[in-house]
Structure 1
């Protein structure tokens, strides 16, 4: 049996609850929420509004828990039904946990 330790694993900066709280607190101020070009295009293609995205971040339920992406950042997916639409938002915190980045929506 080979016993290997994982390498290059970055610890979650806080627990899942505190990260979600940080995400929601930052989303109270829309100037701290940035939309990637990909997210903007997906929103346009799927007729998802910024209001729907912001509501999803502020009060949505966790659809996919925090996990590390291939770039080393931490992201989660939230889900919320807004105006009859089932909206999913993949969001991340910047490395200093001072901004929210919207990665994509569906």
Structure 2
């Protein structure tokens, strides 16, 4: 049976307890810099955020992309993370978004 949004949230939160399991794409770092999103704020979203939209398959890479959302430091943020599969041992932060800006 496919994972639910809650299953993905739990797994991403578990991975986020170890900094060695979270990797940052160049694009994500650029977007964070341009949008004034700090790594601690992004990590807070990853560790405590929720998934409102269904995780999607990235057609180019085949990864599952989950959009974690949370209100942090006075702004609603979304951090998109990609995982190879259910139960993956690491995830890649692919972008960072300020919701409603």
Q: TM-score range by the shorter chain?
A: 0.7 to 0.9
Aligned partners of 1:62, 1:19: CA distance in 2, in Å? 8
Unmatched 5+ stretches in structure 2: none
Contact 1:36 1:101 in 2 (8 A): yes
SS of residue matched to 2:89: coil
Moved >3 Å (runs of 4+): none
Q: What's the CA shift for 1:83?
A: 1.1
Contact 2:9 2:50 in 1 (8 A): no
Contact 1:94 1:101 in 2 (8 A): no
Contact 1:76 1:92 in 2 (8 A): yes
Count of aligned positions: 94
SS of residue matched to 2:62: coil
Report whether the alignment pairs 1:91 with 2:74: no
Q: What's the CA shift for 1:85?
A: 1.6
Q: CA RMSD in A?
A: 1.6
TM-score, scaled to structure 1:
0.80
Aligned partners of 1:83, 1:41: CA distance in 2, in Å? 19
Aligned partners of 2:17, 2:84: CA distance in 1, in Å? 16
- Compare CA radii of gyration and give the structure with the larger one: 1
Q: What's the CA shift for 1:20?
A: 2.2
